[in-house]
Amino acid sequence: MNSIFGIVVKRLAAGLVTILVVSALIFVGIEALPGDPATAILGQQATEENLAALRKELKLDLPPHIRYFSWLNGFIHGDLGRSLSNQRPVSEMIGWRFSNTLFLALSAACIAVPLALSLGLLAALYKDTMLDKSLSIASLSAISFPEFFVGYILIAIFSVKLHMFPSVASINDGMSFLQKLNVIVLPCITLMLVVLAHMMRMTRASVIGILTSPYIEMARLKGVEMRAIITKHALPNALAPIVNVVIMDLAWLIVGVVVVEVVFVYPGLGQLLVDSVSKRDLPVVQASGLIFACTYILLNLTADILSILANPKLRIPK
Amino acid sequence: MERLLTIKKLVIEGRWDDNIKVLIDNVSLHLDRGEVLGLIGESGAGKSTLGLASMGYVRTGCHIASGSIEFDGKELTKASENELNLLRGNRITYVAQSAAASFNPAHRLLRQFVESPLRHGLMDYTQAKEKAIELYRRFNLPYPETIGYRYPHQVSGGQLQRAMIAMAMATNPDLIIFDEPTTALDVTTQIEVLATIKEAIRMQSGSAIYITHDLAVVAQLANRIIVLKNGKLIEEGITREMMESPKEAYTRDLLNVRRQRKEASQPIEDVVLNISNVIAGYTKETTIVKNISLKVHRKRTVAVVGESGSGKTSLARVITGLLPLWEGKIFFYDKELPPDAAKRDRELLRHMQMIYQMPDVALNPRQKIRRILGRPLEFYFGTTGRKKENRVQELLDLIELPSDYYNRYPSELSGGEKQRVCIARALAAEPDLIICDEITSALDQLVAEGILKLLHDLQNNLGVSYLFITHDLATVRAIADEVVVMYQGEIVERGNKRKMFRNPSNDYTKLLLSSIPEMDPDWLDNLLSERQQEGKSIIAPS
Amino acid sequence: MVGVKKIKNAPWSAKIGILMVSITLLTALFAPVIAPFDEAEKVGDIWLAPGGKTILGTDQLGRDLFTRMVYGARNTIAIALLITFLAFLVGVVTGLMAATVGGWLDMIFSRIVDVFMAFPALILTLMILSILGTSIPVLIIVIALLDATKVFRLARALAMDITVMEFVEVARLRGEGLRWIIIKEILPNALPALIAEFGLRFCFIFLFISALSFLGLGIQPPAADWGSMVRENAGAISFGIFVPLYPAAAIAFLTVGINLVVDWFLHISAQIRAQ
């Protein structure tokens, strides 16, 4: 037992270190990029006064490590600085939008994961049949489609032509849960499609790989029937690679959300990020970028730990 | 005697993409209760396919084209999946070649043992567990009460194989099929498992089919033997009769395979390779090669024998400079070799060549034979153009391959042919010493014999010396002048081959020598009773 | 290696894929010849229906959609190809070297790549763009470097699998230099997987650029680009005019085609290996 605990703790520590390094890079990395950030933001025509004021605002006059620690200090106290465009505290802008993004992402995940796993399993079991081949073509197409393509098609069909769902997913706290669901149906499906396809293909590949192993043949030679082979013999071994794929795709989901939010004008963190990039609103860009990065890192970390736990060879050393 | 299994005119075909290959060609056989049938042949003969067919099982991509398989009155080719599942794991069980691959890595051993008896309703969990413990104890597994709670990866190869045999006996089957169960094991471990199998067969007084490529091994266990080649039945007969007077030429060849001997010749002055007090390892704490000294003379073959973990392969890597040594020196003629291969100059590297165990990975699959053989010529001698092509043809002649092979890719050659190309590649450098690292271990016995004969001829004609690393003593008998026995990184015995085989002084050497299966059907029984009398454990000292 | 015979025997999905890719590439190549108008030329009213002078109608500024699509193919494909080449150059060289030389070189490269891969690519790109701006050179270098990390991982993994095979050791023991070993021994064996990966990377990069352009942060107007065209014409949807779907569908068309071809390629190279 000691060793699992040790492994998990080590991984968590590594994750924490990564987050610190990443945050340092985000805030200090500006130094590494060519040019002067202040000029880049305000343009060549800016006056020296404005440039100086901006540099002060961005704390560029401080040496990098002091700047980083002052930011870190602020972060721990919930202060992420102020937006350059509207002077509001960044934490205020981010909080609500982040929860919206999470809502969208989680809804997509809840449908995508079980669906992908079942379809992948079916495709593996009925390999090379019509079902498998059509799923293969469908998933191949889904992976190839850009999200905005899927999004606008859905809008074209279900919103404009059929008037079933709104084309603009505007959400606010006044809505009931059901109303919120209604609003996010289309963005959810859009977001889900690519992830679903990828997860399904990986599940199929893992299961097929396992079904051709010698120990599965041995189970058949012991007279174990197909259903028991799948549930008792194959799945425990498929757990590790599948968990890995699921969480990696969830991490991707966090990123795919950006485009979807723009297509559907959904008030989430992704849209905020894109807007602030266009406006060169550095504090907001840094803060939202950091949150995305952290979520991504945490998810990868979870995938890492879970796949260790799911593998008896790693869980219980010789 | 009651007839248990009858196979009549069985034809099994396999299909890959658009090719159809006949795997079993019109084979008929029978097996009575209490009989052990040996199934022998080289790789690709179809032994596994036939063994599996006895359970009514064919691998994916294969199908039974015609013929009948009757087990205890039931026609298996017409049985439903359910009926077959009732028989398998219950009345017919299977012991696979690789226990490590055939145990589910996610389940403990005990769970896999009780699976069959529970699912066929033969006993409850407690009874099954007791039976497991009893079998584990019978088969000399360590900690029989608790070993069942381990996962497969926590148990060693030989122990796992025995656990698999125990698992096959869980349901008191009528027929056990053993598919090459000792092929992947060390010679000393093989004895333990063979003893286990003999005990198992005796205990359940049922029948068994024993599949192997090793005629000496099958002679110990089988009442009757069937010889297969390319899916066809070549010969069938009672063991003793077949061993004494085989009818077919192929069977005779298989029998003669261990009879090759080399007469030791007088040593000639020059010492080609001199290894002096070498100590080496991958990390400072764990030394794998402990204080090794040995000499190889011109035109002589020194065999380095040992089982897995003896350090013999590491020794080869130290000599070639891939594993740096901590202490000691290596001399080539009288030049001291830099321990690191990267620091040796081209001429030095040229004089010492190495051939590996698996010709599949020793040849670059994307290079044609002419390239593979031509490169050393270019690299070492600067030979190009017409001269190079001629020399490549000479090399092909030397290794007895047709001249049009120069334009082929390795994938178009058989295992034995690929190994010959590896030998030619070594010869292209015109070396003084060739290190052979288990070069015949992965080949069929008849093919291996051809290679050994080739090496012998080459030594006579070209005067090259060999350092021959192997675990197989029959090979040593065939080609060595001197023998060095390694155990756990040290040399435990060395000397002239003939003397050592007649009169070994070290206990481990004696154990090793006595573990080579002989063609005599009574060999195993004699050995086991001998060892029991001496009170010696049949497990090698650790 | 892959003879014409193999192409004739390919399944219909692969043939369709080859057709799709060829059409798109040829359009991009011969854009100036095929397009009836200039890239930024106004030919009529906003969002005209197909007909008359315009095959597909006009866009939100009255330019010929067909011309814009044709030039869009050229611009985006050109940039995506360039980026993929760069990513491959950097990734393959560093990956092969890391695997073959090993030691501290491998460690340094791998750590750098790990740090980069801890970031989701889109986020990192957006953050860098917010500072450096969205000019073409910046786009090319940033995306190429980010994608090189993935190519590095693959090349390194491939090389590691190959380096443990004895024929590499044979070359080393012969005294062959690093260059020979990488180019003559390792690369030919890694080539099939690398070629397949090139196709997949190109797809990904193409989609990535289109996504960036869609967000307004990629290729800037008035240059024609499928992603930007979707963005520019997005408003039409609410009027029931499905113009933004054309460039979006074109993107899908190309990537589906490439995926079909890569899939088939992976299938036959697995077959060759199994022989």
Residue B8 lies in a domain: no
Residue C35 lies in a domain: no
* Closest chain B residue to the Cα of A224, Cα to Cα: B85
CA distance A202 to chain C (A): 14
Res. B263: pLDDT tops 80: no
Residue C103 lies in a domain: yes
Interatomic CA distance for residues A136 and A214, integer angstroms: 26
Q: Do A273 and C123 touch (CB under 8 A)?
A: yes
Q: Which of C120, C130, C240 sits opposite A293 (nearest CB)?
A: C120
Q: Which of C124, C132, C214 sits opposite A33 (nearest CB)?
A: C132
Interatomic CA distance for residues C65 and C47, integer angstroms: 9
Question: Are the CB atoms for B124 and B163 separated by under 8 Å?
Answer: no
- Residue B452's Cβ-count burial label (10 Å; 0-12, 13-18, 19+) is buried
Interatomic CA distance for residues A308 and A313, integer angstroms: 9
The length of chain A is 318
pLDDT at B367: 92
The first and second tokens of residue B150, run together, are: 């381990």
Domain final residue, candidates B256, B286, B316? B256
Average pLDDT over residues B244-273: 77
**Shared-domain flag, residues B138 and B241:** yes
- Residue A62's Cβ-count burial label (10 Å; 0-12, 13-18, 19+) is middle
Interatomic CA distance for residues A223 and C117, integer angstroms: 46
Res. C53: pLDDT tops 80: no
- Give the CATH number of the domain where residue C103 resides: 1.10.3720.10
Q: Do B98 and A220 touch (CB under 8 A)?
A: no
Q: Do A237 and B105 touch (CB under 8 A)?
A: yes
Interatomic CA distance for residues C77 and C266, integer angstroms: 23
Interatomic CA distance for residues A312 and B3, integer angstroms: 44
Q: Is A222 at the interface with chain B, CB within 8 A?
A: yes
pLDDT at C3: 56
Residue B417 lies in a domain: no
Average pLDDT over residues B40-46: 86
Domain of C169 in residue numbering reads as 18-30+42-274
Percent of chain B surpassing pLDDT 70: 96
- Residue A45's Cβ-count burial label (10 Å; 0-12, 13-18, 19+) is exposed
Angle at C243 between CA C49 and CA C212, to 5 degrees: 155
H helix runs in B232-358, sequence order: 239-244, 249-256, 312-320, 346-351
Percent of chain B surpassing pLDDT 90: 37
Q: Which residues pair with C64 in a beta bridge?
A: C58
pLDDT level of residue B540 (50, 70, 90 thresholds) = very low
**Shared-domain flag, residues B166 and B313:** no
Which amino acid, residue A251?
Answer: A
Question: Are the CB atoms for A41 and A54 separated by under 8 Å?
Answer: yes
**Shared-domain flag, residues B188 and B315:** no
**Sign of the Cα pseudo-torsion (A217, A219, A223, A229, in order):** negative
* Closest chain C residue to the Cα of B322, Cα to Cα: C173
Question: Are the CB atoms for B43 and B444 separated by under 8 Å?
Answer: yes
**Shared-domain flag, residues B248 and B276:** no
Q: Is A219 at the interface with chain B, CB within 8 A?
A: yes
pLDDT at A43: 67
Q: Is C118 at the interface with chain A, CB within 8 A?
A: yes
Q: Is A48 at the interface with chain B, CB within 8 A?
A: no
Q: Do A152 and C216 touch (CB under 8 A)?
A: no
pLDDT at B541: 36
Q: Which of B59, B87, B104 sits opposite A223 (nearest CB)?
A: B87
Question: Are the CB atoms for B82 and B75 separated by under 8 Å?
Answer: no
Res. B213: pLDDT tops 60: yes
Res. C49: pLDDT tops 90: no
* Closest chain C residue to the Cα of B359, Cα to Cα: C166
Q: Which of A125, A226, A126, A233 is nearest to B85 (CA)?
A: A226
Res. B258: pLDDT tops 50: yes
Q: Which residues of B touch C176 (CB under 8 A)?
A: 379
Interatomic CA distance for residues B23 and B14, integer angstroms: 7
R_g over Cα of chain A: 24
- Partners of chain C (3+ Cβ pairs below 8 A): A, B
Residue B22 lies in a domain: no
Distances (CA, A) of A30 to A60, B29, B378, C119: 10, 80, 54, 16
- Give the CATH number of the domain where residue B145 resides: 3.40.50.300
Domain of B331 in residue numbering reads as 271-361+432-505
Give C236's DSSP letter: G
End-to-end CA distance of chain C: 14
**Shared-domain flag, residues B252 and B293:** no
Q: Which of B85, B96, B104 sits opposite A223 (nearest CB)?
A: B85
Residue B3 lies in a domain: no
Residue C154 lies in a domain: yes
Question: Cα–chain-centroid distance for residue A161?
Answer: 31
Q: Which of B30, B42, B45 is nearest to B232 (CA)?
A: B45
Question: Are the CB atoms for A270 and A260 separated by under 8 Å?
Answer: yes
Res. B140: pLDDT tops 70: yes
**Shared-domain flag, residues B252 and B325:** no
Q: Mutate which of B353, B364, B375 to test chain C, going by most C C-beta atoms within 10 A?
A: B364
**Sign of the Cα pseudo-torsion (A203, A206, A210, A211, in order):** positive
Give B45's DSSP letter: S
Interatomic CA distance for residues B525 and B533, integer angstroms: 12
Residue B211 lies in a domain: yes
Q: Which residue has the higher pLDDT, B9 or A19?
A: B9
**Shared-domain flag, residues B281 and B185:** no
Residue C5 lies in a domain: no
**Shared-domain flag, residues B212 and B313:** no
Question: Are the CB atoms for A191 and A104 separated by under 8 Å?
Answer: yes
pLDDT at C60: 79
ipTM of model over 0.85? no
pLDDT at B182: 85
Interatomic CA distance for residues B359 and B419, integer angstroms: 5
> How confident is the prediction for chain C on average, in pLDDT?
85
Average pLDDT over residues B260-280: 74
Domain final residue, candidates B473, B489, B505? B505
Give B268's DSSP letter: P
Q: Do C174 and B344 touch (CB under 8 A)?
A: no
- Across A8-17, B253-262, B274-283, least confident range: B253-262
**Shared-domain flag, residues B210 and B280:** no
Q: Which residues of A236-262 are buried (b: 16+ CB within 10 A; e: fewer)?
A: bbbbbbbbbbbbbbbbbbbbbbbbbbb
Q: If phi over 0 gives left and psi between -120 and 50 gives alpha, with beta otherwise, what is residue A65?
A: alpha
Res. B121: pLDDT tops 90: no
Residue B438 lies in a domain: yes
B146: Cβ–Cβ under 8 A, 6 or more apart, which residues?
Answer: none
Q: Which of B17, B320, B362 sits opposite C167 (nearest CB)?
A: B362
Residue C10 lies in a domain: no
The values of phi and psi at residue A315, to 5°, are: -70, -45
- Partners of chain B (3+ Cβ pairs below 8 A): A, C
Q: Is B119 at the interface with chain A, CB within 8 A?
A: yes
Res. B253: pLDDT tops 90: no
pLDDT per residue rounded down to tens, chain A (318 residues)? 557 778 778 888 878 887 777 777 777 666 556 666 666 666 666 677 777 777 777 666 677 677 777 777 777 777 767 776 777 777 778 888 888 888 888 889 889 999 999 999 889 888 888 888 889 888 888 888 888 888 888 888 888 777 877 777 777 767 777 777 888 888 889 988 888 988 898 888 888 888 888 999 999 999 898 888 988 898 888 888 888 888 778 777 877 888 899 888 888 888 888 888 887 777 788 888 888 888 888 888 888 888 778 777 777 766
Residue C219 lies in a domain: yes
Q: Which residues pair with A89 in a beta bridge?
A: A82
CA distance C10 to chain B (A): 13
Question: Cα–chain-centroid distance for residue A260?
Answer: 12
The values of phi and psi at residue B7, to 5°, are: -115, 125
User: H or E element: which one contains B294?
Assistant: strand B286-297
Residue B2 lies in a domain: no
Which amino acid, residue B57?
Answer: Y
Q: HEC string of B331-396? A: EECCEECCCCHHHCCHHHHHHEEEECCCHHHHCCCCCCHHHHHHHHHHHHHCCCHHHHHHHHHHHH
pLDDT at C1: 47
Q: Which of A289, A315, A306, A283 is nearest to A54 (CA)?
A: A283
**Sign of the Cα pseudo-torsion (A237, A243, A244, A245, in order):** positive
The first and second tokens of residue B211, run together, are: 């599949």
Q: Which of B224, B291, B308 is nearest to B1 (CA)?
A: B224
**Shared-domain flag, residues B207 and B275:** no
Distances (CA, A) of A232 to A168, A216, A245, B109, B119: 46, 10, 21, 15, 13
> How confident is the prediction for chain B on average, in pLDDT?
87
Residue B386 lies in a domain: no
Tally of domains in chain C: 1
Q: Which residue has the higher pLDDT, A133 or B205?
A: A133
CA distance C261 to chain B (A): 20
**Shared-domain flag, residues B182 and B305:** no
User: H or E element: which one contains B21?
Assistant: strand B19-32
User: H or E element: which one contains A20?
Assistant: helix A2-28
Residue with tokens 């003879």: C3
Average pLDDT over residues B45-51: 90
Percent of chain C surpassing pLDDT 70: 95
Tally of domains in chain B: 2
**Shared-domain flag, residues B251 and B277:** no
Domain final residue, candidates B190, B221, B256? B256
Q: Is B115 at the interface with chain A, CB within 8 A?
A: yes
